[in-house]
């Protein structure tokens, strides 16, 4: 279940989506450009007043069909979030550390590579951070685990109000734990009933799982 195979991508209503933003929304400080046409992501980002931190997700469809637009957009992004296959596709490097280094050179200060059941890698010029996944015995449906990770990650950064090394590492731990609940049920069945206390408890156990 760790390898997603894309048989076909139907953009549907998102093909011509033009996000409209209120003045209040334009002042939001933490921005995550979820996976969509890089031109729409760029348009959206240009409408934002002065975001403090900008994360970006993409996917193979755009890497192959809108490569130039995506690469241009990466210069304006703080954190590029990609899975292992996307990292390899965009960088042309198989080794994930080399891939991350190459993606870093395209602009984003931080490159965050999601490796599914194998955890997460954060690459920056100053430090590299690596976490395994939560050792999950019960995997019902991994769909959305990457998005849940991104949600937990950005959510923590927004609450922390900063994105320094400590905050980023903790954000990754929260994202990892959020994703570990997502895979325990179909769709939102598990995450919809999740409380912050559930996250905190598992995060504590997770730290024990990886500390020596």
Q: Rule CB under 8 A: which residues touch a second copy?
A: 95-98, 101, 115, 117-119, 121, 127-133, 135-137, 139, 166, 169-170, 172-173, 207-212
Q: Which is nearer to a second copy, 14 or 210 (CB)?
A: 210
Shortest gap between Cβ of 23 and a second copy (angstroms)? 36
**What does 53-110 look like in DSSP terms, one character per residue?**
EEEEE--HHHHHHSHHHHHHHHTT-SEEEEEHHHHHHHH--SSHHHHHHHHHTTS-SE
Shortest gap between Cβ of 10 and a second copy (angstroms)? 30
Shortest gap between Cβ of 168 and a second copy (angstroms)? 9
Q: Are 83 and 116 in contact (CB under 8 A)?
A: yes
Q: Which is nearer to a second copy, 74 or 131 (CB)?
A: 131
Q: Which is nearer to a second copy, 62 or 156 (CB)?
A: 156
CA 208 to each of CA 136, 146, 195, 198: distance values in angstroms, whole numbers, following the listed order: 15, 23, 21, 16
Shortest gap between Cβ of 80 and a second copy (angstroms)? 17
1 contact partners, CB below 8 Å, separation of at least 6 = 117, 139, 142
- Angle (nearest 5°) at CA 29 between 23 and 35: 90
193 contact partners, CB below 8 Å, separation of at least 6 = none
How do the residues of the chain divide into helix, strand and coil, expressed in percent and rounded to 5?
Answer: 50, 15, 40
Q: Which is nearer to a second copy, 43 or 205 (CB)?
A: 205
Q: Which is nearer to a second copy, 80 or 174 (CB)?
A: 174
Shortest gap between Cβ of 61 and a second copy (angstroms)? 26
């Amino acid at each position: 279940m760790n390898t997603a195979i894309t048989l076909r991508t139907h953009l549907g209503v998102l093909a011509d989506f033009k996000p409209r933003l209120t003045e209040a929304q334009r002042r939001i400080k933490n921005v995550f450009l979820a996976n969509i046409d890089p031109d729409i992501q760029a348009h959206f980002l240009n409408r934002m007043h002065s975001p403090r931190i900008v994360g970006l997700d993409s996917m193979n469809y755009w890497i192959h069909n809108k490569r130039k637009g995506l690469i241009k957009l990466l210069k304006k992004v703080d954190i590029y979030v990609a899975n292992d296959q996307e990292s390899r596709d965009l960088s042309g490097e198989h080794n994930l550390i080399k891939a991350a280094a190459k993606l870093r050179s395209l602009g984003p200060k931080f490159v965050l590579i999601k490796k599914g059941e194998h955890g997460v890698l954060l690459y920056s010029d100053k430090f590299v951070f690596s976490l395994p996944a939560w050792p999950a015995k019960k995997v019902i449906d991994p769909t959305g685990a990457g998005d849940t990770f991104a949600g937990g990650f950005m959510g923590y950064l927004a609450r922390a109000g900063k994105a320094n090394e400590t905050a980023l590492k903790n954000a990754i731990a929260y994202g990892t734990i959020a994703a570990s609940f997502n895979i325990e049920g179909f769709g939102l069945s598990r995450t919809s009933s999740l409380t912050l206390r559930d996250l905190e408890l598992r995060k504590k156990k997770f730290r024990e799982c990886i500390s020596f």
